[in-house]
Chain A
Amino acid sequence: MSVSAAAITVAQAGSDFFRDRSEADCIRDNGAFCAGWVIENADRYVEPTLEHAFLVLVPVALGFAIAFAMAVASHRARWLVPPFIGATGVLYTIPSLAFFFLLLPITGRGNVTAIVALTAYTLQIIYRNIVAGLANVPADAKDAGLGMGMTERQLLWRVEMPLALPEIIAGVRVATVTTVALASLAVFAGAGGLGNEIIAGSAITFRTGIVVAGSLMILMALAFDLLLLAIQRHLGRWRVAGRERAAGAPRLRRLRAPGPERA
C-alpha cells in the first residue's frame, strides 16, 4: 500500500516535471524562472534598471572627480597621502546599509542619501589606484620630461597621468562593478533601483523576480566593466605602439616636447 502510494507520488512528480505547465501554474508553484511571466512583465523592469544605472553612474562619476582632485593635491603635498588613505578607508569600511541610515536624519530618504553613501564607498578604491598609478610611473620617463624642460604641472598632465591611465581606469572598473552590486541595497534608502524588485512587498519569496533582478544587476556590472575595458584599451593603445617601436624610432606621441607651437 505504502509502496504503491510512493510510486504514485513519484509518477506525479515526474509528470509535473515533464508536463508543459501553464504560466499560472509556474507562478503558483513559484518556479525558478517563469519565462512567460518575464516576457509579459518585461516593461516593469525598465524603470528600476534605469534607476539602478543612475545610482551607479552618478556615484562613480562624483567619486572619480573627488578622488582625482585628492590625488592631484596629495601628489604635490605627499604628506596628505596617509590621512587621505585613512579617511577614505573609514568611509570604505562603513557598511552601505549602515551609511544610508546614518545619513537619514541629515539628507532624508531618497536618491541623495543613496548617492552620498555610494560615492563615499568608491573614494578609497579610485584614490588608491590613482596614487599607485602615479607612483608606478617609471623614473626614466619623469627624468626625460624634466630634461626637456617641463614644469611640474606639465610633467603631471603630459607624462605621469597618461602613463598612470591604465591603473586609474582599473580602479574605476572595480569601483563601478562594486557599486552595481551595492546599489541593490539602495532600496533601503528609499532610492529604488533593482533592489526594489527583490524586496518590495512579499517579493523576497518570488523566485522568478529574484532571478530576473539579480541577473539584470550582474549583466549591468558586466556591461559597464566591458565598456570601461574597451576605454582602457583604447586609451592605452599608444603605449603598445610605443613598445613595438624600435629604439631610435619616433618618440611616443604623448611625450612630445612642450613647445610654443603646441601650447
Chain B
Amino acid sequence: MTLTLAVLDAFGGAVDFIFSPRPSRGSGPDVGGLGQVGELTLEHLRLSGAAMVLGLALALPVGVYLGHRGRAELLAVGIGNAGRAIPELALIAFLVAFVGVGFVNVTIALVVLAIPPILTNTFVGIRQVDRDAIDAARGVGMSELQIALRIELPLAAPTIIAGVRTSAINVIATAAIAPLAGVVTLGDFIINRNVYGDEGVLAGAILIALLAIAVELVLAAVQTLLTPRGVRVERALAARA
C-alpha cells in the first residue's frame, strides 16, 4: 500500500516535471517543462533520424544488390548477427575516448548500429521473393534493375521494414546515452541526475519509452502500407489455413 502510494507519487512528480519548469539542482537555468522537453525530444529525433537515414542509404542498396545477385550471404547475414553483439555503452565510450564527442561522431556510431538489421533483412527479404515472380518479370522483358526495383523490392518491403524497425529501436535506445558524448538528447534527464533530480530522471525514462513506442507504431503503420496487396492476401490465406 505504502509502496503503491510512493510509486504513484514518484510518477506524479515526473509528470509534473514534464509540464512545469523548476529551478535546477545545480547552478544554471530552470529545468523541466514542455520547452526543454520539446528541445531534447527534437534533438533525440534529429540524432536518431540522421543515423537512420544514413544507415538506410548505405545498407539498402548493398542489401538489394547482394540479395538480387545472391552473393555474399555469409557477409550479409553475418553482419546482422555480429551487430547484435556490439555493446552500446562500449561503442559510445570507445567513440568518446578515441574519436571525440559531438553530433557527427555520435551519428556515425549510431549508423554502425543501424546498418546490420537493415542489411540482413533486405538481403533475406530479397532472397525470399518467389522465383516464379522473377521468372515472369524476366519473361516479359524486364531488365535486372527493373526486376530488383519493381518486383523484388516491393515484395521484400515488409521484411525490410521489419529490419528498419529493429534498427530504429536500437538507435533510439542508444541515442539515450548520447549525452555521455556531448549530444543533449532525452537521455540527459537520466544521466545528469544531479541537475534534474529524481523526478527529472523518471520523466526522462517515461519520455524515452513513449518516444520509442511512438516511432515503433509509426513504422508498423508504414510496414502495413508498404505491404503489397497481393502479399497481404497471401498472408491472410496462410494464417487461415
Contacts and interface: CB of A to CB of B under 8 A. Distances in A.
B76 to A, nearest CB: 16
Interface in A190-223: 194-195, 198-199, 203-207, 210-211, 213-214, 217-218, 221-222
A192 to B, nearest CB: 13
Contacts of A204: 93, 96-97, 180
Contacts of B90: 184, 198, 210, 213-214, 217
Contact of B176 (A89, A98, A174, A210): A98
Nearest to B181: A204
A185 B177 CA distance: 9
A222 B98 contact: no
Nearest to B89: A184
B139 interface: no
Interface residues of B, number: 38
B209 A105 contact: no
Most A CB contacts (10 A, CB to CB) among B87, B208, B209, B212 go to: B87
A54 interface: no
B172 interface: yes
A42 interface: no
Contacts of A205: 96-97
Contacts of B190: 97-98, 101, 188
Contact of B7 (A93, A98, A106, A211): A106
A13 interface: no
A257 interface: no
Contacts of A199: 89, 93, 180
A98 B209 CA distance: 6
B173 A198 contact: no
A178 B113 CA distance: 12
Contact of A102 (B89, B191, B202): B202
B11 interface: yes
Contacts of B204: 98, 101
Contact of A177 (B84, B88, B96, B209): B84
Nearest to B6: A105
A235 B32 CA distance: 55
A95 interface: yes
Interface in B1-57: 3, 6-7, 10-11
A184 B176 contact: no
B183 to A, nearest CB: 14
B206 A95 contact: no
A203 B101 CA distance: 15
A95 B98 CA distance: 26
Nearest to A196: B89
A182 interface: yes
Residue of A95, A105, A106, A218 with most chain B CB atoms under a 10 A cut-off = A95
B89 A93 contact: no
Given A106-B3, A177-B84, A187 B176 contact: no
A98 B205 contact: yes
B88 A93 contact: no
Interface in B52-66: none
Given A102-B205, A104-B202, A93 B176 contact: no
B106 to A, nearest CB: 13
A96 interface: yes
Contacts of B206: 98, 102
Given A93-B212, A102-B205, A182-B87, 10 more contacts: A89-B216, A90-B213, A93-B213, A94-B213, A98-B173, A101-B205, A106-B7, A182-B88, A188-B191, A218-B86
